[in-house]
Structure 1
Amino acid sequence: MQMQIMANITHLDDDEQPFLFPLTNSKVLPDPSKFFSKNLFSSALPTNSFFQNFVLNDGNNKEYIHPYLIKPSDSSLSICYPSLSVSSHSMHQVFTPDLTISSSTSSLSRHVISSFSDLSVTLDFPSSNLTFFLVRGSPYVTVSLSRNESLCITSIHSFSSFSSNGSPNKYSLKLGNGQNWLIYTSSLIKFSFSHDLKLTFSNNSSDGAPVMLRIAVIPDSSSKTEVVLDKYSSCYPLSGDVLFNKPYCVEYKWQKKGFGNLLMLAHPLHLQLLSKDEGNVNVLEHFKYRSIDGDLVGVVGDSWLLETDPVPVNWHSNRGLKEESYDEIKSALSKDVEDLDSSAITTTSTYFYGKLIARAARLALIGEEVGFLGVVAKVKKFLSETIDPWLNGTFNGNGFLYDEKWGGIVTKQGSTDPGAEFGFGVYNNHHYHLGYFLYGIAVLAKIDPKWGKKYKPQAYSIMSDFMNLGGGKAEHYHSTLNHYHYTRLRCFDLYKLHSWAGGLTEFADGRNQMGTNSNSEAVNIYYSAALMGLAYGDLHLASIGSTLASLEIHAAKMWWHVKEGDNLYEDDFAKDNKLVGYLAANHRLDLIRCYQSERECKIGFHVLPLLSITEFLFSNVDFVKDLVKWSPSLYTVGDGWMGFVYALEGIYNNKVALEKIRSLKRFDAGNTLSNLLWWIHSRHDYRKMGSCHEKQCCIG
């Protein structure tokens, strides 16, 4: 797996060797050796990847590899160009095995992952010598057929017609459902066609070389689409990597073979971020495939540069507080800090415990900003008392452990119960649990540098669990973002450009993230990592964290914030929804699964935790107004949820929201009156929001 990193990387000192929490022999984790090639076990394995279903249970559940749904089975692989089922509550891509490719001679055997990268996975069927190069965003599925091997193509639909189109290396197949598929071969190949039964290709080449077959559906009736597929059929990608070479940019680079230029597909967020200064790409605006994520548009080029908006990484508010608000905030701080009592915490859950840590850390920073330094010392004591036991292994009832099988942090509770802590022990939801811990660690390292130095190895180990950039090479272990014990970017999807929550759990809809694993909490973990970089003077960590937080924000605005008329989601789904409650690779729901579905709850899950970076997540004031107007439900949801609704209202209606916040009696477990007052009183110049005018706060 290729990797390049920015200059000025901070390295761990000699006395700060990579730290591992106590080892565990988890009783709940699956065995990865069933589907991964042995050569891949020298590196930590992915636990939340776009192909995760291929390595769980029987490995035969489908995954969405744009623009196709791919489903492996014993010695075969099925391809579907999915249709979209839409209602006012749901959007779902429907799987039908349009084409199934299998060996014509081999016995049944399962597939093996022989390699993977940020944008690709390679599936081998050893018994048949078939190799599938599945590269995300390729309009073609590419399969290698070894010498003296044959493959069969069948379909659940009837075969209406088959022809070679006058070309020895191109074939057309029309199915009974109206789909037209093209098959290209890298050299002349023997074939046979049995009407309504199967199509067979045989590699009898004299030179012993494999033959590459490229299979693509024609997504529309335009003859121009087929011309484009013909033109770029001879250049095929084998893998794709994502490089972080400079702040607020990611670069896609594909390893390719064949000749000519490379044709790939970009989703709407790619097109939004695609660098306009790069002259090495050509967008084919009229070459499109449908997708639940919006139209996928053709882009020609061997590499893409995606540029995201800089976001400030600030400890305090982005625009400051008016001094006349200090007294009110200090009064709330006095009570909130007085209520801190580490001995009164009864939860042992990483999620709820972490929220209490982050809530207290917010109080310290607010105290700094309003010059109320007396509360900072009290918060520092609380943070040390609550964080230390998790880092030194003395916490009673739970604790962090290191799992060697997959390479990552689990917990004592999660190592024996797959359902404990929302599945944390099977790598579910790591990004929002650990984000709260990391926020508290960053703040404590800032206000107590001596403590920060003592626990720096543990802090970096927690960060590495979800934000490691390593390619698995042990010689790079000194780099702070190349910890070879951990997988690369555990939760973050470098094609979709946002995080998933699913972990080592098989889902029929693929990777997912619901409202209760909120995108705002995903923003929080990368923002917290950036803050930790500032606390330790590690500008590389701060830069990568800020870049990923910015990408999460863009993705939230693209796919979680529903805006009627933007043509991304179907009108039936968009007209009554403002927020997606459940977002999976193949599914969208308006409601939050397995939780309260009142609109105020949905809003709260998309806002929390309330931080300075939240204003960039909700920079579209017109959308915020619509969201607050949409919020009232028929039920009483409680002050805790309403605090987040009032926070959004404060963006454009400050005085009214302030009075509502003053009337609240209860707050979310991660929120306080001090935090809400700080938020409202820092909205005074919100019209400037959206332009990154505080350049010194941006990592660059």
Structure 2
Amino acid sequence: MIPNPDKQSVFDKAAGCILEGGNVEAHDTNTYAYVWKTSGLCAEPSGLLHYAQIHHVNTLDRSTAVEMEGLVAYSTTRGPMQALITKTASPMWRFTDTTEIPISFYPSHAPAPSDAEKCKIKETLVKDIDSKWKIRVDGSYYFNDKAAQKYASLCLMAVDPSVVGAGPDSGKLLQRCLSKLKTILAPFLTNSWKYTLKYDTVYRGILSSQGFALNDVNADFGSTMYNDHHYHYGYWIVTAAIVNKLAPTWSGLVELNRMASFLVRDVANPSWSDPYFTKFRSFDWFRGHSYSHGILSFADGKDQESSSEDMNFHYGIALFGQVTGDEELASIGRLMVKLNARAIQTYFLLTDANRAQPAKFRPNKVTGILFDNKVNYATWFSPQKYAIHGIQMILVSPVTEYVRTREFVSEEWDQVLSRIPDIVNDNLRNPWLSLLYVNYATVNKTLALTKLEKCKMDDGLSRSWALYMAAARSGI
């Protein structure tokens, strides 16, 4: 905090109002509030003095609180925090965000017929559907999860007229796709993989049993220790939503939805009355994003690495609530998507105008790993820039374009990505480039499509989906 003697009277005036805690209220898909628990003298003219992060101030309803000019504190990793004074009899902050982020299975624009034909998206889709699908019965939940959503996305394209047309063959293609998808989902429905999911009575959650079987807290990225649950389970929840949309009469749907609901409740249970799961285990409503780190302590504090997989989880619960008729879940999911998008754009994706990170750090364009106590331009698994940036792009979904703005994509490409040796040397054997080029389609669709026709794919990305999503972007 920077001392400001001229503002001493403000602190004196607010000193009688003591903050003890607070609750979050979700009012609708645009509005949420922090209702503060206080004691002492908190009604006007004194009020509660507390500090807000950048994304709070940008959406603040100033009928509930106002900024105190010249009173700023600095957080460890999220930039300046502005002092606010509440104006209501019962102290609260209310926020309204009217940004439109459609929750849809499909991108906002269908690929142009010329792009679909030139890139042979339909032919590529048929190849992807007829290829050998792999999900290991003894594999990682994370990699199995990625594969499930990858394959489910093929089935979405199989009913999109912009890809397959309107002929009788389109229905046959969908049925082939769904038949294979149901087969690979069977072990998930029956929880019959080698490392089954287990319910934990201590922290009240769903765990991979691999860590117990191998006596290894780091097995499957630490899933047994509650690491990365929103990353892993988001893929299954999106997959379940897709199956609900495309196969609403499938006999396995009840069991699929039961399993998916367990995973929703593990990560983002919205109910205090649910005795089996912790409420909003991963998502921090003050920070606006989830935490990756589970129950083990870490010197640098909790962290988040993959902002895009965080978003995929929120997108997934919004879709799942939408197709299953759970309007409360759908509404909460839509609100979380909006809040998370704003937090990602403020703290993870760094435009030249960003205020959250120091000027010397901004040229990196992404935070890498955002801890509570430090920001580390790195990943947990690779020092390569294509991985540091690619982990913020993995996977590609219809909400990606609303998080990664054209302004940011252009700056990131021009200042960092275009200079990476694998881009300069056109190393299309590097699967990370598939993510980088789908992202770049926002700016230069023509070049991106050319590269995506040839480059090796990320293991969670099919070539047809990469071409489809790139062709749907607005880049020239």
Indicate whether the TM-score tops 0.5.
yes
Q: What residue identity is the alignment partner of 1:268?
A: I
What does 1:221-370 correspond to in 2, within 5 Å? 221-260=3-42, 261-275=47-61, 278-292=62-76, 293-301=78-86, 302-308=91-97, 309-327=99-117, 328-342=120-134, 345=136, 348-369=139-160, 370=163
Task: State the partner residue of 1:470.
Answer: 271
Distance 2:133 2:295 in 1: 36
Matched with 1:55 is: none
User: Displacement of 1:565 after TM fit?
Assistant: 4.7
Judge conservation of contact 2:315–2:337 (CA < 8 Å) in 1.
Answer: yes
- 1:285-330 CA-to-partner distances (Å, cap 9, x unmatched) read 3111122311111111111112232310111121223233444211
Question: Structure 1 residue 599 and structure 2 residue 398: aligned?
Answer: no
Gap regions ≥5 residues in structure 1: 1-218, 474-482, 688-700
Give the conservation status (yes or no) of the 8 Å contact 2:354–2:362: no
Query: Percent identity among equivalent residues?
Result: 25
Q: Does the CA contact (< 8 Å) of 2:341 and 2:403 recur in 1?
A: yes
- The residue that corresponds to 1:436 in the other structure is 235
More strand by share: 1
Larger Rg: 1
Instruction: Give the superposition deviation at 1:552.
Output: 1.5
- In structure 2, the partner of 1:680 is 470
Secondary structure of 1:579's counterpart equals coil
2:349 match: 561
Residues 631-656 of structure 1: per-residue CA shift (max 9 Å, x gap): 13235584311111111221121112
User: 2:263 is paired with a residue of what secondary structure?
Assistant: helix
Deviations 1:69-95 (A, max 9, x none): xxxxxxxxxxxxxxxxxxxxxxxxxxx
Contact 2:236-2:260 at 8 Å conserved across structures = no
- Counterpart residue type for residue 283 of structure 1: E
Residues 552-582 of structure 1, C-alpha deviation per residue, up to 9 Å, x if partnerless?
A: 111111111123453322222223x111111
Is the helix fraction higher in 1 or 2?
Answer: 2
Cross-structure match for 2:370: 583
Query: In the TM superposition, what are the counterparts of 1:377-526 in structure 2 within 5 Å?
Result: 377-395=175-193, 397-416=194-213, 417-450=216-249, 451-471=252-272, 473=273, 483-514=274-305, 518-526=306-314
CA apart distance, 1:282: 1.7
Q: Is this contact kept in 2: 1:445–1:453, CA < 8 A? A: no
Separation in 2 of the partners of 1:608 and 1:286? Answer: 40
Whole-Å Cα distance in 2 between the matches of residues 638 and 579 of structure 1?
A: 24
Code of the aligned partner of 1:339: S
Q: Is 1:646–2:448 an aligned residue pair?
A: no
1:520-535 to 2 correspondence within 5 Å?
520-535=308-323
CA–CA distance in structure 2, aligned partners of residues 359 and 668 of structure 1 = 10
Distance change (3 Å), C-alpha of 1:340 and 1:439: farther
Cα–Cα, structure 1 residues 633 and 455, in superposed 2: closer, same or farther, change >3 Å? closer
Distance 1:634 1:597 in 2: 14
Question: For the residues of structure 2 that align with 1:677 and 1:571, how far apart are their CA atoms?
Answer: 36
1:552 to 328, 333, 340: 340
1:622 equivalent to 2:423? Answer no
Letter in 1 for 2:449: L
Equivalent position amino acid for 1:547 in 2:
L
Instruction: Describe the SS at the equivalent of 1:607.
Output: coil
Match of 1:236, SS state, is strand
Question: d(CA) in 2 for partners of 1:529 and 1:354?
Answer: 15
1:527 positional shift: 0.4
SS class of match (1:300): strand
Which residue identity does 1:385 align to in structure 2?
T
Whole-Å Cα distance in 2 between the matches of residues 379 and 551 of structure 1? Answer: 34
Task: State the Cα deviation string for residues 455-490 of structure 1 (Å, max 9, x = none).
Answer: 32222111111111121x3xxxxxxxxx33111111
Q: What's the CA shift for 1:598?
A: 1.9
Deviation digits for residues 503-552 of structure 1 (CA, Å, limit 9, x no counterpart)? 011011111122xxx01000001101111112212222112112112211
CA distance in 1 between counterparts of 2:240 and 2:59 reads 32
Against the structure 1 CA distance between its residues 512 and 347, is the aligned structure 2 distance closer, same or farther, given a 3 Å change threshold? same
Letter of the 1:332 counterpart = T
Q: Does 1:661 align with 2:452?
A: yes
Relative to structure 1, is the Cα distance of residues 220 and 532 closer, same or farther in structure 2, using a 3 angstrom cutoff?
A: closer
Structure 2 equivalent of residue 180 of structure 1 = none
Displacement, 1:353? 0.5
Q: Is the partner of 1:243 in helix, strand or coil?
A: strand
**1:176-232 residue CA offsets vs partner (Å, 9 max, x unmatched):** xxxxxxxxxxxxxxxxxxxxxxxxxxxxxxxxxxxxxxxxxxx33421232211110
User: 2: CA distance between counterparts of 1:565 and 1:312?
Assistant: 26
- Tell me the distance in 2 between the aligned counterparts of 1:654 and 1:393: 41
Could you tell me whether the CA contact under 8 Å between 1:600 and 1:642 is conserved in 2? yes
Corresponding residue SS for 1:373? helix
Query: How much does 1:248 deviate?
Result: 2.5
Cα distance, 1:256–1:531 mapped onto 2, change above 3 Å? same
CA contact (8 A) 2:346 2:354 kept: no
Between the two proteins, the alignment pairs up a number of residues equal to 447
SS in 2 for 1:509: coil
Are residues 680 and 637 of structure 1, via their aligned partners in 2, closer, same or farther at CA, if it must alter by over 3 Å?
A: closer
Once residues 661 and 454 of structure 1 are traced to their aligned partners in structure 2, the CA distance between those partners, rounded to angstroms, is 37
Residue 609 in structure 1 maps to residue 399 in structure 2: no
Question: Which amino acid letter does the alignment assign opposite residue 560 of structure 1?
Answer: F
Q: How does 1:115-264 map to 2 (within 5 A)?
A: 219-260=1-42, 261-264=47-50
- RMSD of equivalent CA atoms: 1.9
Whether contact under 8 Å (1:601, 1:637) holds in the other structure is no
Moved more, 330-339 or 292-301: 292-301
Tell me which residue corresponds to 1:135: none
Task: After superposition, give the CA deviation of every residue in 1:434-454 in whole Å (9 maximum; x if it has no partner).
Answer: 011111111112222233234
Deviation readout 1:6-43 (Å, 9 max, x if unpaired): xxxxxxxxxxxxxxxxxxxxxxxxxxxxxxxxxxxxxx
**Counterparts of 2:428 and 2:276, CA distance in 1:** 43
TM-score if structure 1 supplies the norm length? Answer: 0.62
Equivalent residue, structure 1, for 2:167: none
Change (3 A) 1:333 1:347: farther
Change (3 A) 1:654 1:347: farther
CA distance in 2, matches of 1:388, 1:535: 21
